[in-house]
Structure 1
Amino acid sequence: FGMKEERDSDTYGIGWNFNARFEGKGYASESANAFIEYLFTQQEIRRLYAYVEDDNFRSQKLCDKLGFRQEGCFMEFVSFVKYEDGTPKYENTYQYALLKKEWLSQRANQ
């Protein structure tokens, strides 16, 4: 789920990957919420970020639901997949982020 940006950093990257059989049941939201709470309360981090491809609408919706804000879009970002001929497939990727103070404010307003 989470990865520190650098040793002793107060910034983590977060991501998820769920089996399609379980989509739409709230598991991603529930587990991500619990992990975010753990990171902000137990690990004392300051900032979370997530990278989401521009065609991954479910993850974009999850980021919105979790209170992340979209910070920008990296055009033809790092490629983790290849086309059949072996050339890299570059994808446009949104960066989302959530600060601890934003998360606390959202919780206070619920």
Structure 2
Amino acid sequence: MQNIETDRLLLRNFSEKDAESMLEYLSNPRVNCFLGDKISTWEEAISNANKKSEDDSYIAVCLKDGGDLIGELFTMKEEPDTYNVGWNFNQKYEGKGYASESAKALLQYLFEQQGARRVYAYVEDDNYRSQKLCERLGMRKEGCFLEFISFTKYEDGTPKYENTFQYAILKKEWLETANR
């Protein structure tokens, strides 16, 4: 992936040097969908950073000033021209607009350079911050999938299924809002 710069951020490929920062935010996932990404050791962090460094669908979000890794974006292409996107940020950087700034840059990149026609995101019904982010990006809520997927279990061992919203935006809608 080519680097993308915003006013305050640099979006780039991951590298092994990101392991320490990854350990900080992936050791205690706050949203159930990231429980599968949980890491607990330095070795797991290095392995995770190296794995993501070889995959352009994972994008490191770093502060331009200092280069600190503060979170990540991810994409999954569905042929021919649709992308599923998501994000995961270190809690200590919340409330500063970094998720919005980086996600907006990602959507612009997907629409203008990767030929995306449609971009969508899945968001759990209790993840209010991501719902608000989707709305700030101009995405519309298309529906709610009841008991859509399970990332964790109840104390009795049965799966806990998440209600999940789908948000989406078309390129023509993105261009309309970008030109306002």
TM-score over 0.5 for the alignment? yes
> Which position in structure 2 is the counterpart of 1:9?
80
Structure 1 partner of 2:5: none
What are the ranges of 5 or more consecutive residues in structure 1 without an aligned counterpart?
Answer: none
Residue in structure 2 matched with residue 87 of structure 1 by the alignment: 158
Distance across 2 between alignment mates of 1:85 and 1:19: 31
Amino acid of the structure 1 residue aligned with 2:88: N
**Paired residue secondary structure (2:147):** strand
Instruction: Specify the alignment match of 2:64 in structure 1.
Output: none
Q: Which sections of structure 2, spanning at least 5 residues, go unmatched?
A: 1-73
Greater Rg by CA: 2
Deviation at 1:52, TM superposition (A): 0.4
Q: Which has the higher contact order (CA 8 A, sep 6+)?
A: 1
Q: What corresponds to 1:77 in structure 2?
A: 148
TM-score (norm 2): 0.57
Q: What displacement does 1:86 show? A: 3.0
**TM-score between the two structures when normalised by the length of structure 1:** 0.92
Q: Which runs of 4+ in 1 moved over 3 A?
A: none
* Partner Cα distance (1:47, 1:58) in 2: 22
Counterpart for residue 102 of structure 1: 173
1:25 paired with 2:96, answer yes
Deviation at 1:84, TM superposition (A): 3.5
Aligned length: 107
Q: Does residue 65 in structure 1 map to residue 136 in structure 2?
A: yes
Secondary structure of the equivalent of 2:126? coil
Partner of 1:36: 107
The one of 56, 60, 65 equivalent to 2:127 is: 56
Q: Distance in 2 between matches of 1:47 and 1:81?
A: 30
**Pairwise CA distance, 1:27:** 0.8
**DSSP 3-state at the match of 1:30:** helix
**2:97 & 2:161 partners in 1: Cα distance?**
30
Q: CA deviation at 1:13?
A: 0.2
* Greater displacement, 82-91 / 28-37: 82-91
User: How big is the shift at 1:19?
Assistant: 1.2
- Percent identity over the alignment is 71
CA–CA separation in structure 1 for the residues paired with 2:101 and 2:152? 28
